[in-house]
Structure 1
Amino acid sequence: MRHPLRNILGTVGVVALMAACSPETETPTEPTAPPAATDPTVGDTTAVSLTGEGWGPLRIGMTRAEVVEALGEDANPDAVGGPDPESCDQFRPERAPEGMLLMVENGMLTRISISEPSDLMTDKGLRVGDTAERVKGAYGDQAQVTPHKYQDAPAEYVTVWSRGGGEEYVQDTQARGIVYEISRDGTVMAIHAGGPSIQYVEGCA
């Protein structure tokens, strides 16, 4: 005759063994939300907006030494940046995005220019390759349109001052703006942002 206690212990052991061998039940989890869209004006410096005040680590009015600290020295020191580099020079820092050219006058950053193959955008979401119509539509009555000096229409300059401006030729060093240089095919071939030097049509002049 079997002992009742032995039967009970045997039954408990079988139940415990079955529990140990059975797969664990996973607790349902909430579905993972898709990653939030990245703000194009932060994070990746190649996507920071270009304005009359500057771009990313560059601020109009900073010294050449500050520019070099931010983005490195001239990537092509043998290139001729201007007829008198001490008073006006143009160069592309080593760590600057492709298509960017900086103008330094008397030791101060006065202009940031971009051209192909740059994919940088202004604060209006405009870039090299956009149409003149899109540029004018973005600014409305703020846009000042003047003929291009070297190319036939529809080549032109579309100038927008965000600070200062108003005169036929702006000389106030505190003025800030952007010039969209339109080619003869009606698209933006270069964008110049900064102070009064955005009005120059021949490099440093």
Structure 2
Amino acid sequence: MTVLTTGLAHFPATGFAQENAAEMPVADPYVLFDLRDDFVWNLTHYQILNPDEDVVRTLIAEADQGQMIFDMVLRDTVPPYCELRFDPTICDDRGTPVDWYSDLPQTICMDIPANVTFDHADRLKGAKYLCLEPRERLLLPESWQSRQSGAQTYLSQRIEPGAVTVRDDIATIDILVLDAINTPLSTLTPEGYGDAKTGMTEDEVRAAMIEPMTSTREGTEDAECYHLQSAGGPTGLGFMMVDSKLARISVYADEYDIATSLIRTGRAIQVGDTIDDVRAAYGDGLIEEEHEYDGPDGRYLTWWANDAKTSGIRFETGRDGTVTAIHAGTGSIARSESCY
């Protein structure tokens, strides 16, 4: 499981911030759970193993303290316990997939790290597990019911956590979901992004993405190259149309949009990863070149899916060695200036 967090993102109440309180907004406490990979269906709840210590600290510290942001990245179907951890004492078969949409709400549970147990001994009273109990169904997208198995969503929720209650060795926090925004996510490959495939017409791309899309043309209205973007985000995701066909899908780092940073390639690389991550994932087939604008410290790393170099994926890294953009699709991924 990948668990990310920014923890408590409050500004310090001293110096400039104290004098300009009206100009310096206080960020809500925030946690993010990426549940696309390593989770276990544990009979009646999801048990998250090996959670990040800062996530648990934030959840306990903010219990009964007002609103916070609780974000999740999910797939629409997940394997049940018996499929992942077959136990003949309780499993008659390997089981069948469980539908998140119809099966929620579910309690999300995790182990409490020893350091957190010690630091919050007065509230946890020796509890070994922390469980988050939604008071009602999480606000998941209805479109999941008509999508293919494995569709992903980034669910950003504003919640109000209740107080910590302890029974036996389980600490529980009730969660009231106040509002939520769903941003559909897909996997980026040389063939396309989710249901949007290279070679599709604009109408076909719009139909595949379901979400409304806006277009941005470079040059005149009849330019042979222009871009489409999903109106519902992620904001850093763009679709390049060349000669009326989808040629390239690009993901650009966007510090203001978490959803953009969660888009992964088929080998689990995303913006923000390091150049060494890319090398490890794509191996000796990578072609490395100096970045046109960042000089020798920036790189283009291109992986072609075939010898003809008509399909592939390209990573741009900045001077700090992290991925700032990913391009996937036809030979147009080699264009350094998008439509130019």
Same fold (TM over 0.5): yes
Where in structure 2 are the equivalents of 1:3-82 lying within 5 Å?
32-35=43-46, 42-45=150-153, 46-71=184-209, 72=211, 74-75=213-214, 77=215, 79=216, 81-82=217-218
Cα separation, 1, equivalents of 2:237 and 2:243: 20
Cα separation, 1, equivalents of 2:312 and 2:237: 17
Pairwise CA distance, 1:39: 5.3
Of 102, 105, 114, which aligns to 2:242?
105
Tell me the matched-pair count.
164
Q: Deviations over 1:66-86 (max 9, x none)?
A: 1122335543x5x5x322553
Q: Deviations over 1:7-26 (max 9, x none)?
A: xxxxxxxxxxxxxxxxxxxx
Where in structure 2 are the equivalents of 1:64-143 lying within 5 Å?
64-71=202-209, 72=211, 74-75=213-214, 77=215, 79=216, 81-84=217-220, 85-117=222-254, 118=260, 119-143=262-286
Q: Deviations over 1:95-133 (max 9, x none)?
A: 453310110011100000001231200011100011111
Where structure 1 has 5 or more consecutive residues not aligned to the other structure, the ranges are 1-30
Cα separation, 2, equivalents of 1:36 and 1:58: 34
Cα separation, 2, equivalents of 1:151 and 1:116: 16
Max Rg structure: 1
Where structure 2 has 5 or more consecutive residues not aligned to the other structure, the ranges are 1-41, 49-73, 77-148, 154-183, 255-259
Of 196, 200, 204, which aligns to 2:335?
200
Task: Show the counterpart of 1:150.
Answer: 293
Cα separation, partners in 2 of 1:142 and 1:69, compared to 1, 3 Å: same
Q: Deviations over 1:140-186 (max 9, x none)?
A: 11110011111122201000011344xxxx5xxxx210000111111
Pairwise CA distance, 1:139: 1.2
Task: Show the counterpart of 1:5.
Answer: none
Give the letter aligned to residue 270 of structure 2.
Answer: R
Task: Show the counterpart of 1:26.
Answer: none
Cα separation, partners in 2 of 1:57 and 1:83, compared to 1, 3 Å: same
Pairwise CA distance, 1:89: 0.6
SS in structure 1 opposite 2:270? coil
8 Å contact kept, 1:92–1:101: yes
8 Å contact kept, 2:224–2:244: yes
SS in structure 2 opposite 1:102? strand
Q: Deviations over 1:21-68 (max 9, x none)?
A: xxxxxxxxxx83544996598122544211000111210111111112
Write 1 or 2 for the structure with the bigger share of strand. 2
Compute the RMSD of aligned alpha carbons.
2.4
Cα separation, 2, equivalents of 1:95 and 1:108: 22
Cα separation, 1, equivalents of 2:314 and 2:276: 14
